[in-house]
Amino acid sequence: MSIVLGAIADDFTGATDLANNLVRAGMRTLQVIGVPQAALALDDVDAVVVALKSRSCPVREAVSDSLAALDWLRGQGARQIFFKYCSTFDSTDQGNIGPVAEALVERLGSEQTVMVPAFPANGRTVYQGHLFVGDRLLNDSGMQHHPLNPMTDADLVRVLSRQTSYTVGLLARPTLDEGSGTAREHLETLREQGVRHVICDTLDESDLEVLAAAVVQFPLVTGGSGLGQALPAEYRRLGWLAPVENAGRLVPASGVALVLSGSCSRATLAQVEHFLSRHEGFALDPLALAESDAQIGQALDFAREQLFGGDTSAPVLIYASAKPESVKAAQQRLGAARAGELVERALAELARALVNEGVGRLVVAGGETSGAVVSALGISELRIGEQIDPGVPWTQTSIEGREAPLSLALKSGNFGDVDFFSRAFDALPQERLP
């Protein structure tokens, strides 16, 4: 059986965000990290999201990685390709949204694609081509200060026009209001005029539904995870996708539970404090890690005793998360990059050792931290399960040397409610012990 949707995401957490929405809309979804090198079993998979690191890399690299992902996804029979980027249209005048979209359209032998970055549920809307974050225009939302891709213009037709030599068009709200037939006709008129890229207005979920119906037959669509939420209903309407009862069903989890936190974001700090008021934890300190590996050994001893010594059902936390004053102090002594590396390496090593010894349920907090743990564990694919909190699903992956799959939740810094660390484990169906 072939997959229905093949997605190419320009970063890791963006890929998970889309995959999470696809599962919620009824598609059984696999996230792969980079273009797979070996054949994958996709019998019970409806959508594959390839996570790339192409948001801020040089244009040529972004284009060639995206084309490699496209070729692989087409090889799996994907009926529609989705190029996923951030709902704040993160890019620069050089790219990479324009050049990647252009290359994908061309390789697919198509003539047009749409840009639907909006995610109304998260306050990202587009009106007359202007992107809003909540009640602020994009260039007044904080995104104008982004270190890698400052967004200083909210007019997406203008922004995209600087990234491509093709004409950029607009599908505006009044046309959407007339329904998907009129929207489709407008897109067709633009296509006849040679308009290759069309920025689409979106104010709410019903606009997303109209758009999904208008573009479901397009070989390529592009945008944020909001559109991903609306497309599966159209695939079912066309008979491409069979209804499934629980697209996020995972194998019952087994093994002891560990939380590793390298995030110092405000939400994570509150989650750490909340967890420590109920469970045991061990704090890592970058200054001690800079001296020697002794603290890694102490953390290991602590975790072994807690996880395997007595009550094996309680989760345990190992964290470097610290308040801004201590982070600043460590950074002043070691440099920000070295402090970060020391923590990431320690957490990655702990993950490798403890998963090897029987951790089967693992929550990791922090985007960079998650990247370090995923690569230390040699993970190349994640089956997406149920959402714990918006944007963070449980996932499962096979690990060499481990019989049952590892259940893994990767939480970026500011995601999740205050009780996320303990509630995550409550939300995970577990194998019944005899």
The site for ligand ADP (CB under 6 A) is made up of 262-265, 268, 286, 320-322, 326-327, 330-331, 339-340, 343-344, 366-369, 412-413
Nearer to ligand ADP, 197 or 411 (CB): 411
Rounded to 10°, the helix 12-24/225-237 angle is: 40
Q: State in angstroms the smallest separation of the CB of 350 from ligand ADP.
A: 13
Q: State in angstroms the smallest separation of the CB of 369 from ligand ADP.
A: 4
Contact between 262 and 365 under an 8 Å Cβ cutoff? The reply is yes
| Count of Cβ atoms closer than 10 Å to residue 59 Cβ | 17
Nearer to ligand ADP, 248 or 286 (CB): 286
Nearer to ligand ADP, 118 or 320 (CB): 320
Cα separation, 386 vs 143, in Å, equals 30
Helices assigned H by DSSP within 91-172: 97-107, 156-161
Q: State in angstroms the smallest separation of the CB of 317 from ligand ADP.
A: 13
Nearer to ligand ADP, 139 or 263 (CB): 263
Q: State in angstroms the smallest separation of the CB of 60 from ligand ADP.
A: 26
Q: Sort residue 166 into left (φ over 0), alpha (ψ -120 to 50) or beta.
A: beta
Q: State in angstroms the smallest separation of the CB of 284 from ligand ADP.
A: 7
Nearer to ligand ADP, 222 or 261 (CB): 261
Cα separation, 142 vs 239, in Å, equals 43
Nearer to ligand ADP, 73 or 320 (CB): 320
Q: State in angstroms the smallest separation of the CB of 371 from ligand ADP.
A: 8
Nearer to ligand ADP, 220 or 351 (CB): 351
Torsion of CA 240, 246, 247, 251, to 10 degrees: -140
Cα separation, 51 vs 125, in Å, equals 24
Rounded to 10°, the helix 180-192/205-215 angle is: 50
Cα separation, 180 vs 186, in Å, equals 10
Q: State in angstroms the smallest separation of the CB of 366 from ligand ADP.
A: 2
Q: State in angstroms the smallest separation of the CB of 147 from ligand ADP.
A: 12
Cα separation, 265 vs 246, in Å, equals 33
Q: State in angstroms the smallest separation of the CB of 322 from ligand ADP.
A: 4
Cα separation, 5 vs 160, in Å, equals 25
Which residue number is nearest to ligand ADP in terms of Cβ? 413
Cα separation, 221 vs 115, in Å, equals 7
Nearer to ligand ADP, 52 or 264 (CB): 264
Which of 403, 406, 392, 368 has its CA nearest to residue 257?
A: 406
What tokens does 299 get? Answer: 């953390």
Cβ-based neighbours of 423, under 8 Å, separated by 6 or more: 388, 417
Contact between 404 and 255 under an 8 Å Cβ cutoff? The reply is yes
Cα separation, 80 vs 61, in Å, equals 23
Nearer to ligand ADP, 242 or 336 (CB): 336
